[in-house]
Chain A
């Protein structure tokens, strides 16, 4: 699963519970963003 919005909400906590109960050895959260903003020069969003 991914946090995808840079926040860990109660929904995010609830979402992991079925996986945690499901028998996997490891449950992982994807896209844990290390920073809030990229360097300005890295924004290459097309017009």
Chain B
């Protein structure tokens, strides 16, 4: 936004944003080092994206000028609203917070006025540039959550100072630079919805400008919060990503048609931790408009078999049928959902259950889709019935260590069987594998008062970091509220009558007492079955867990969607 040439491309974006009547808003922030790094060291020992205590006075002034120049460019591009991000540990928030601010100059923490000064000068500078051509929205954390931070009441006093300089105030919470706080900034699936509403209500009651709220607010909560006067407006990020039509659907009373966000945080984890474009597990078209916004309709209807009734199979079937193909889905069991149904078993997986109910509902609405449950498709069957194409979504084969001395199937069990209720866990549990599935299982049983130990071959730093680190941070925090043990760089050596024999990275062995060993070690594709289908059917695609990629919903849904779109 510092480059005047941004006006050219930003104006194109603004035109697109406003084409159907919405207002266009751009959020202003300094370039942050946290993209792909996180938890950077700071002068106060608590992570800060920008260390405010080593900025010179001139550098602070330069930031204010940079904000103003950026606002000028936004205004020239036709932006309706400038969003000044003063939440989540951004510069204004850090300078207001005496936990972070140890400066001794006029921006220091000596008094309330000094702590407000940067935000005040910044907003004055922006207003001087944009006048009344743009509204200004300020984003503010009701609490930074960091111990010793200003109270909500003091943050409200700060808001009173700036309210005459802004048009709208959006209430969030937390500091983005501190990993363990991220699940509260982007409330993940284990955290309640709408956690900032009651705080925002306090600001709304104390201020004269419109106050809004953000933070996994459901439509039901939004309706109640606005109707009761707690807030004037609600911002939704991830729910819009999962279903960009969600507002129109809610407006017209079609809430059942809204694809729910499962709050897996694949979107923000990819951009903030892995330097990759955000993607959505529930909406495979998100941020891939160049690939799919103008996909031509099919030119020839094909007879398509979808093999597997899990999330990948359901997505492939729905999309292929919507595009006009003659689709039949084959499912081995009597009910759609596959292992995903089991994965949603824990009490804290409500989002997942809602998503599954939605996709099944949508599949049943498809006119071109026949669903044949209790039917195991074979290559011979598909060939005989004249299928021209097949999307293979048969899941994977869970890894089961064959070398174990213990052959008691009731003692060494697969996590899927625990989730489905086919197997039961005892009082002393060892879980092998600390991926998201293993950790969720640990949380489920720790909350039931069981003695839970989780072992994993990875070191602590890498556990849970493959897909959505934000959710892994939440799981670790919630687990730490319970009684559990995590043993890293440790592998399963054997299970005997005496117990579970584990081995650390140096080869040292010890025996743990356990009445149940739960295997959450992932799985591998059934390549023989896949090859047989590939040989029998002229056009085949391998999607979901059986494609050998990461076993998560994003991989399942996206690969299934992509296959259905090229049929």
Chain A interface (Cβ within 8 Å of chain B)?
1-2, 4, 6-39, 41-46
Q: Which residues of B contact A42 (CB under 8 A)?
A: 33, 50-51, 54-55
Instruction: With both chains docked as a complex, state the minimum distance between the C-beta of B17 and any C-beta of chain A, in angstroms.
Output: 5
How many angstroms from the CA of A46 to the CA of B249 in the assembled complex? 46
A20 touches B67 (CB 8 A): no
B293 touches A17 (CB 8 A): yes
Given A24-B247, A32-B28, residue A15 in contact with residue B10 (CB < 8 A): no
List 28 interface pairs A-B (beta carbons < 8 Å), by A numbering: A1-B278, A9-B9, A13-B12, A13-B13, A15-B286, A18-B286, A18-B289, A19-B22, A20-B19, A25-B233, A26-B24, A26-B235, A28-B25, A29-B25, A29-B26, A32-B27, A32-B29, A34-B29, A34-B63, A35-B2, A35-B31, A35-B66, A36-B31, A39-B62, A41-B51, A41-B55, A46-B37, A46-B40
Q: Which residues of A contact B56 (CB under 8 A)?
A: 39
How many angstroms from the CA of A26 to the CA of B13 in the assembled complex? 13
B271 touches A33 (CB 8 A): no
Question: Within the complex, which residue of A6, A7, A30, A43 is in contact with B33, where a contact is CB–CB below 8 Å?
Answer: A43
Which of B193-201, B238-246, B394-402, B505-513 lies on the face that meets chain A?
B238-246
Question: Within the complex, which residue of B6, B26, B70, B287 is in contact with A15, where a contact is CB–CB below 8 Å?
Answer: B287
For residue B35, CB closer than 8 A to chain A, the reply is yes
Closest chain A residue to B251 by CB distance?
Answer: A23
Q: Which residues of A contact B247 (CB under 8 A)?
A: 22-24
Tally chain B residues at the interface, Cβ within 8 Å.
Answer: 72
Q: Which residues of A contact B70 (CB under 8 A)?
A: 32-35
How many angstroms from the CA of A39 to the CA of B62 in the assembled complex? 10
Instruction: With both chains docked as a complex, state the minimum distance between the C-beta of B233 and any C-beta of chain A, in angstroms.
Output: 8
Instruction: With both chains docked as a complex, state the minimum distance between the C-beta of B243 and any C-beta of chain A, in angstroms.
Output: 8
How many angstroms from the CA of A42 to the CA of B176 in the assembled complex? 16
Q: Would you give the 0/1 interface string for B66-77, flagging 1 where the beta carbon is closer than 8 Å to chain A?
A: 110110001000
Closest chain A residue to B70 by CB distance?
Answer: A34
Instruction: With both chains docked as a complex, state the minimum distance between the C-beta of B289 and any C-beta of chain A, in angstroms.
Output: 3
Q: Which residues of B contact A31 (CB under 8 A)?
A: 27, 29
A22 touches B40 (CB 8 A): no
B290 touches A11 (CB 8 A): yes
Instruction: With both chains docked as a complex, state the minimum distance between the C-beta of B184 and any C-beta of chain A, in angstroms.
Output: 18
A10 touches B285 (CB 8 A): no
Q: Which residues of A contact B29 (CB under 8 A)?
A: 30-34
Instruction: With both chains docked as a complex, state the minimum distance between the C-beta of A36 and any C-beta of chain B, in angstroms.
Output: 6
How many angstroms from the CA of A12 to the CA of B69 in the assembled complex? 22
Instruction: With both chains docked as a complex, state the minimum distance between the C-beta of A41 and any C-beta of chain B, in angstroms.
Output: 5
B13 touches A8 (CB 8 A): yes
B12 touches A15 (CB 8 A): no
Q: Which residues of B contact A23 (CB under 8 A)?
A: 245-251
Chain B interface (Cβ within 8 Å of chain A)?
1-3, 6, 9-10, 12-13, 16-20, 22-33, 35, 37, 39-42, 48, 50-51, 54-56, 59, 62-63, 66-67, 69-70, 74, 80-81, 83, 85, 233, 235-236, 240-241, 243-251, 271, 277-278, 285-287, 289-290, 293
Q: Which residues of A contact B240 (CB under 8 A)?
A: 19, 22, 24
How many angstroms from the CA of A1 to the CA of B289 in the assembled complex? 13
Across the A-B interface, the 10 shortest Cβ-Cβ residue pairs: A14-B289, A23-B247, A23-B248, A18-B244, A28-B25, A44-B40, A8-B9, A34-B70, A22-B244, A34-B66
B17 touches A27 (CB 8 A): yes
Q: Which residues of A contact B27 (CB under 8 A)?
A: 28-32
B290 touches A10 (CB 8 A): yes
A21 touches B245 (CB 8 A): yes
B41 touches A20 (CB 8 A): no
Instruction: With both chains docked as a complex, state the minimum distance between the C-beta of B70 and any C-beta of chain A, in angstroms.
Output: 4
A27 touches B24 (CB 8 A): yes
How many angstroms from the CA of A43 to the CA of B63 in the assembled complex? 15
Question: Within the complex, which residue of B13, B32, B62, B271 is in contact with A12, where a contact is CB–CB below 8 Å?
Answer: B13
Q: Which residues of B contact A17 (CB under 8 A)?
A: 16, 19, 289, 293
How many angstroms from the CA of A11 to the CA of B287 in the assembled complex? 7
A6 touches B41 (CB 8 A): no
B41 touches A25 (CB 8 A): no
Q: Specify which of A30, A41, A46 lies most central, judged by the most chain B CB atoms within 10 Å of its CB.
A: A30
A33 touches B31 (CB 8 A): yes
A16 touches B33 (CB 8 A): no
A26 touches B81 (CB 8 A): yes
Closest chain B residue to A7 by CB distance?
Answer: B9
Q: Which residues of B contact A4 (CB under 8 A)?
A: 35, 271, 277-278
How many angstroms from the CA of A24 to the CA of B212 in the assembled complex? 14
A33 touches B1 (CB 8 A): yes
Q: Which residues of B contact A44 (CB under 8 A)?
A: 33, 40-42, 48, 51
How many angstroms from the CA of A1 to the CA of B85 in the assembled complex? 14
How many angstroms from the CA of A27 to the CA of B410 in the assembled complex? 53
Q: Which residues of B contact A19 (CB under 8 A)?
A: 17, 22, 240, 244
